[in-house]
Chains A and B, each alone.
Chain A
Amino acid sequence: MAKDEMTREFKLVGTRALRPDGLDKVTGRARYGADFALPGMLWGAVVRSPHAHARIVGIDAAKALALDGVKAVVTRADFPAGLTGSDWDIQENVMAGEVALYDGHAVAAVAATSALIAQEAARLIEVSYDLLPHVTDVDAAMRPDAPAIRPGSADHTVPDGMSPNVVSYIEYGRGDLDAGFAEADIVREQTYKSEATHQGYIEPQACVGQLGADGKGEMWVTTQGQWYVRRDCANVLGLDVAQLRVTPSEIGGGFGGKTTVFMEPLALALSRKAGGKPVKLVMSRAEVLRATGPTASASMDVKIGMKKDGTMTAGRVEFRMQGGAFPGSPVPDALKCAFAPYKLPAVLHIGYDVLANRPKAAAYRAPGAPMAAFAVESLVDEMARELGLDPLELRQKNAVEEGDQSSYGPKFRKIGLKEVLAAARAHPNLAAPLGPNQGRGIATGYWSNYNGDTAVSMAVAEDGTVQVSVGTPDIGGSRASIGLMVAEYLGIPYESVRVNVVETGALAINEPTHGSRATFANGKAAVAACDQAIKEMCRRAAADWGIDAEAVEWIDGAAQPAGPNAGKFPPMSLAEIAGRMSDSGGPIAGHFEGIPRGVGASFGTHVVDVEVDPETGRTTILRYLVVQDAGRAIQPAYVEGQYQGGAAQGIGWALNEGYVYGADGRLQNATFLDYRIPVASDLPMIDTVIVEVPNPGHPFGVRGVGETGIAPPLPAVANAVAAATGVRLRELPMSPPKVLEAIRGRRDG
């Protein structure tokens, strides 16, 4: 069936339908995490470590508890002991145990009758610390004499003699690396560094939690994944998972940062201690930056062998990434993405997962891919320039296609890299003339995309309209996309479908809206659910007509006799069947539970023109083009939105975003004033080209588009800055002081 769908003409898929959540969102009616309230609700506040690394000697809450209106104080003593592995990591991150591991690490929390009292009480909780030596830089953390953050936490992969902060070691590859480098005309090796960045979602973490002495709880929360919140909160607090019910709010961005819990279990712990009264917790922006998960900082070596004609003969990467004081930096995915766009006879990947005194990293849009692309695509560009080759042509020459073995192992199925590169070449931006101090940069990025646990149900209403229940909070327009696919498949108007994002009690487990999976996985699952309902509706029509159910087929939103032999009956529409369903056998619905197979990877190529002020080092983005394979754009406007959003975040990462730590290990820029995300006026309109090489693994050809777009901007901007200035910056962010220093070095040298 999938193959037929590829060539079908669609009525709804591919149209720019309005998003069903649009009116609520533009009128301010949509309810986000902080908008939820309950009668008798308490407010929580969290006491956080001001130290990068310190033993907690004592916590004295007497003064706080004496304050009028204070109802509960919790510390780690209020959580169950004995957790292991990643459950322990999450618990330890939610509330420090013996040692505060980073600036901003929670050490106590308080609930009171108002937010002001709670904040006042938090100030009155006295915590005494013994300072420990700290380390925040990934390379420094890898030195053998670095302060040990969690001795003994290395897994079996780590070779002897490494710094105690190396907790995991990865090494894999294929082909004869030495022969590959020997075959090359030039072999170049460089080191690149990138600073940690935060997702910068506009909505801070917020929740209301309620937990009784009976172990039954409720939570209302802004999250990308209500089942993950349920599981993690239950594990951290020692509850039975199904006894907790989690309802997601509308979400003001997540980009991976809301796939896990930070302060959510504290609301439940406080509620339990306050006799079951609901407790609301809302993070400030400073708390978001200090104590939720940014992505990793990275230090990366890349070595590439290339022939004079641009053919790549071998590649080697060695990536070091710190993801805070816990295992789990995105080094595995970074390695996977490093050489993915290239045909390479020989390749070696080495990776280190490193601890540092920083907050626990969370996923951030294509975790690891942007750093990997920065390192590899920068060196590819350097070598192209050295050999006098066109950087786009060089990429076309080495590009992977269907059937090629990927750098990280499996053979590629149908992919669209060559189509993407050809579309980029054809775009008018490539012909735009450049003036003095201007330069053009090109880079490619890759993301494999993902499926994950998926449960969807659909049900027919009495009037023939249809509800679809999904478990993935709608961040980028997924209600619209799912609604379009369901309406298309059933043959009913888009307006007849309502897509609901439901709470944990309404469906089997779902993974969050992550991995660019929502449209891919829900679309495929919804089609399977619709198939069940269609089958039932055909059965009802067949019974009515007195013919065999097999002799009925579903066409254009109606049951119809399959061919002349089946009998002559007028089509029976979905609305007709629905209107009589109570008399013809009861409710009509369909559902799917499983892991939809057939994920399709997505490549993108970005082309950026910049101008660099030679006297201040300030970079202006003049023109920006995103070309990416969507497989199929179900709703093109939301695909373009994903492309533009990824580019905007990547540009910020490249130019000015980054965590700044002082010598004391404290985060110096925990505000949007000094954590510099691009503002609207910093960016031109970002041009997009949607390439559609349909994914044969999906009924509509969807690949997933949310993440690939953040990988190419880092190297594309770096390559453009190099073209504009003649100097190569191998460290992000390329803030004006760094660029000016590099330009000055060239001037003097």
Chain B
Amino acid sequence: MRYHTPQTFEDAARIAAGAAGVTRFLAGGTDVLVQMRSGLVLPDDMIDLKHIPGVRDIARTADGGWRIGVAVSGAELGEHAALKADWPGVVEAMELIGSTQVQGRATLTGNLCNGSPAADSVPGLVAAGAMVTVTGPSGSRDVAVETIPAGPGKTALAPGELISAITLPPRGAHGGDAYLRFIPRTEMDIAVVGCAVNLVLDGDQIASARVALGAVAPTVILVPEAAAAITGTALDAAALEALAGAASAAARPISDKRGTADFRTEVAGVLARRVAEIAYARAKGHAK
């Protein structure tokens, strides 16, 4: 195995583009190193991104959003009061990942690019409308985060491409987001279903919303029908019912050792309802 420590994303992309065998980028390593230890993945080239200047920065963008470096750990996100105030759902999702030790390493970008349909931070990013900057041998482009996952363990990134930053849009007034996952235990587990809701209020009415589901399809999915079910409502009982129905209808889960398809379908609706209520309360300014 060759271990690389490029100083720029362009260099990282060039190394990746020139590599012939199995290539992995190293952010926190909490997926990659575990996969290596179990013999699942034995990379020929390992490209460590942590030597690139700025990868551990969280910065306010000119328009009031946030730019998050690709090596920012979950613990660092959790300590960032201003970011957490804007996007509590994104941060709480990231903070669910692993243990205290894992939190010191694990990153949003790694979680996204590992390609797990159950990745906890991804529904929150999708609901928030996050963008990612993709850097390749021929330059950079910004794309919506939901275009990256392509199936279990797969991303839409071309060989030689990598993510150089994640950007969250400006929160604006009267907005709130939240994430919940279902696991049989209380921690150290993998989501059987995950759901994130992000909404903006106009008075008591929901002016706009985004709803994303995890672990119920080959990738994290954005569910416009679920958002439509609550948009224009004050999240009354009927709206919550409609939301649950839409979320369950959008779920296309499999049955596996972690849960049956029926279970995931039903719980997707249950979680959507519960998450929407938290996001709504946050948008109203009620701490929850």
Contacts and interface: CB of A to CB of B under 8 A. Distances in A.
Given A673-B190, A679-B185, 5 more contacts: A616-B267, A676-B189, A679-B186, A681-B185, A741-B262
Given A286-B38, A673-B190, A674-B258, A616 B270 contact: yes
Interface in B172-207: 182, 184-190, 192
Nearest to A670: B38
A678 B185 contact: yes
A194 interface: no
Contacts of B189: 673, 676
A660 interface: yes
A669 B257 contact: yes
Contacts of A673: 188-190
Interface in B220-264: 256-260, 262-263
Contact of B185 (A286, A682, A737): A682
B184 A676 contact: yes
B266 interface: yes
B28 to A, nearest CB: 17
In terms of DSSP, what is the predominant structure of the interface of chain B?
loop
A599 to B, nearest CB: 37
Interface string A679-693: 101100000000000
Contacts of A119: 39
Nearest to A675: B257
24 contacts: A119-B39, A284-B38, A286-B38, A616-B182, A616-B267, A616-B270, A618-B184, A656-B184, A656-B185, A668-B256, A668-B257, A673-B190, A674-B190, A674-B258, A676-B184, A678-B185, A679-B185, A682-B185, A736-B259, A740-B263, A740-B267, A741-B260, A741-B262, A741-B263
B257 A674 contact: yes
A668 B68 CA distance: 36
Nearest to A735: B184
A234 interface: no
Interface in A718-749: 735-737, 740-741, 744
Interchain residue pairs A-B with the least CB separation, the first 3: A737-B263, A681-B186, A660-B257
A284 B189 CA distance: 20
Contacts, number: 55
A708 to B, nearest CB: 26
Interface band, chain A = 20 to 34
A615 interface: yes
Nearest to A669: B257
Contacts of A72: none
B233 to A, nearest CB: 21
A737 B260 contact: yes
Contacts of A710: none
A682 B263 contact: no
A674 B257 CA distance: 8
Interface string B69-109: 00000000000000000000000000000000000000000
A615 B247 CA distance: 15
Contacts of B267: 615-616, 740
A367 B56 CA distance: 52
A737 B188 CA distance: 19
Nearest to A123: B39
Contacts of A682: 185-186
Contacts of B182: 616, 618, 736
